[in-house]
Chain A
Amino acid sequence: MTTQLPPGLQLEKVDERIMTLNVGPQHPGSGHMRLIIKVDGDYIVSCDPDPGYVHRGEEKMAEYRNYIVNIPHLERPVIHDSCNVLYPYCLGVEELLGLEVPERAKYLRVIASELNRCVYIQYWLAIYGIFLGHSTMFMWPAGDRELLIDLLEKITGARVTHAYFVPGGIRNDVPANFEEMCLKRVNYFEKRIKEYAAIFYDNPILISRTQGAGVLSREDAIRLGTTGSTLRASGVDFDLRKKEPYDAYGELDVHSNVLKDGDSYARSKIPWLDMLESCNIIRQALQKMPKSGSVRVKLKPNPKGGNDEVYKRVESGRGSLGCYIVSRSQPEPYRLKLSVGSFRNLICMPYLLKGEKLGNMPAVYWSLNYWPVEADR
């Protein structure tokens, strides 16, 4: 279709109109990664994620360290979710070495893991708030998460890098008055996060920015193999705490939160609902936990796994987190692979951003619950 243009005027060619933008690694809208975005006017034509800025070779390093020495560097991918990121590794090593975790340790693991999930989600929520220009939503979660960080610090001794889980249990028992303290804080915390609804989730500005942005349908969520909040926001009921209960989760009543919309708003709401659920789980676990008992099985120095392989997975703050360990009767793992939620959700990015407005990019990108350090390992 050629329309007659007045002399002296000519249409722009498509190639000249398209502009390439580097979003990151130094960009207020990106994390530790780069998105190569091609825009046509205000619309994104294609997006090519370029991760790897924090690729530290942890899987290679794990092959040179024994099962215990591996603990501190394996929790570094997500330091604010360090209990959950060590969880599958510990479960895997326990199966390799044939260890049975004491009952009390199982419950304490659940409590620490749920507390840590809240800490992670609060940080994510703070970042999501500030990138949408909502400063209050940065300050509130960043302040409230310190409550739980204090609690975790009392248990484990460190602010964020706990190294609390070890193969065979947990590193140390909790202090004497832990139960009352935990219950009090969790109740207060729950009351606080319920207030977020009024300021953030019912906020018309947030709703107009995120609703309908980056819609991921149920079929695509399954086809792309997404996980965690991204998957559950698209209407797939898949929470490993419920589907494949590990440790004490089988004895607790876990409810998994599912929304059907699949847009950025649903994706940003699921973690918040998860936090409320975590408070619920912590209260149940505190009730059912054995009041005393050992928390750790004694390990031989330099334990060796058999000629075997394990694949264990848990539900972390970002979704299913798998750990694949191949052992060949050595004190070190022969091969260790972390299958992390962030890396699995990375594939959504080119898919969701295509055809989206450039202004929606931060709203979609951060709603994926993506933590670049974890994706790069």
Chain B
Amino acid sequence: MSQPETPETKPVATAPPAKAPPPAAKAPPQKELPQFEKSIADKLEGKFSTKATIEFVKVNRIRVKVNKEDMLDVARFIRDELHFDHAESVTGVDYPDQKEIEVTYHLGSYTDPELAKQVLTLATRAPREENPSPGNDSTRVPSLRDIFYSVEFHERECFEMLGVYFENHPDNRRLLLPEDWADLPPMRKDFKIKGR
């Protein structure tokens, strides 16, 4: 079963040159990609050929990276055509060496029983500023609240923890931090905790 599969799978796996090290470091002989996950990834590739980069396809996990301009289109396609219906979490990851902040949505599905195991990771990147002023600088991505309503509080948390402003989010207020927080957003890498 694996023989006819391998020619098809290789271009998908080797497509992102940026993320080449992980599969090479873990398992040099290319493993057989899971069928169902690959079909979802192929659907995404077929629709958005260059806009959406499939970064990896693992068992039950797919990671898609898009530019922030195409974010809304891809998210709408994922909801309407692929039937992912809610977000499990929104995570911000700071990459100071690449001068970017990555915002990652983990999407799941309750309605489609076939997708119950799947978690689709939708990642996008926003430019990172050296001296951030949350809400007023260029660190902003479009909010997915209109598409996945469940991201509302997660995006609020991401805004205060990393300073990523979500455009068109109705409620970009402080959530977890104290009201008088005047320091850097704490999950940025240049924010150091005491004595470290």
Q: Is A in direct contact with B (CB under 8 Å) within the complex? A: yes
Considering the chains assembled together, what is the distance between the CA atoms of A311 and B106 in angstroms? 9
Q: Interface with B: A147-155, A337-345, A353-361, which one?
A: A337-345
Say whether B30 faces chain A, with CB atoms less than 8 Å apart: no
Considering the chains assembled together, what is the distance between the CA atoms of A313 and B116 in angstroms? 12
Asked if A307 contacts B21 (CB within 8 A), the reply is yes
Considering the chains assembled together, what is the distance between the CA atoms of A53 and B111 in angstroms? 35
B22 to chain A, nearest CB (A): 5
Say whether B121 faces chain A, with CB atoms less than 8 Å apart: yes
Asked if A337 contacts B178 (CB within 8 A), the reply is no
Considering the chains assembled together, what is the distance between the CA atoms of A307 and B21 in angstroms? 7
Interface string of B151-180 (1 = CB under 8 A from A): 111100100000000000000000111100
Asked if A225 contacts B93 (CB within 8 A), the reply is no
- Residues on A with C-beta less than 8 A from B182 are none
Interface residues of A (CB under 8 A from B): 51-52, 55, 57, 59-61, 64, 98, 222-226, 231, 236, 238, 243-244, 306-311, 313, 320, 322, 324, 326, 334-335, 337, 339, 343-344, 346-347, 376
Nearest opposing residue in chain B for A59, CB measure: B187
Considering the chains assembled together, what is the distance between the CA atoms of A244 and B154 in angstroms? 24
A231 to chain B, nearest CB (A): 7
A133 to chain B, nearest CB (A): 30
Main secondary structure of the interface of B (DSSP, over half): mixed
Considering the chains assembled together, what is the distance between the CA atoms of A347 and B89 in angstroms? 13
- Residues on B with C-beta less than 8 A from A308 are 22, 26
Asked if A243 contacts B116 (CB within 8 A), the reply is yes
Asked if A347 contacts B150 (CB within 8 A), the reply is yes
Considering the chains assembled together, what is the distance between the CA atoms of A285 and B86 in angstroms? 33
Asked if B111 contacts A98 (CB within 8 A), the reply is no
- Residues on A with C-beta less than 8 A from B148 are 225
Asked if B88 contacts A313 (CB within 8 A), the reply is yes
Asked if A238 contacts B25 (CB within 8 A), the reply is no
Asked if A324 contacts B187 (CB within 8 A), the reply is no
Q: A52-B175, A55-B177, A344-B150 are in contact. Are A225 and B193 (CB under 8 A)?
A: no
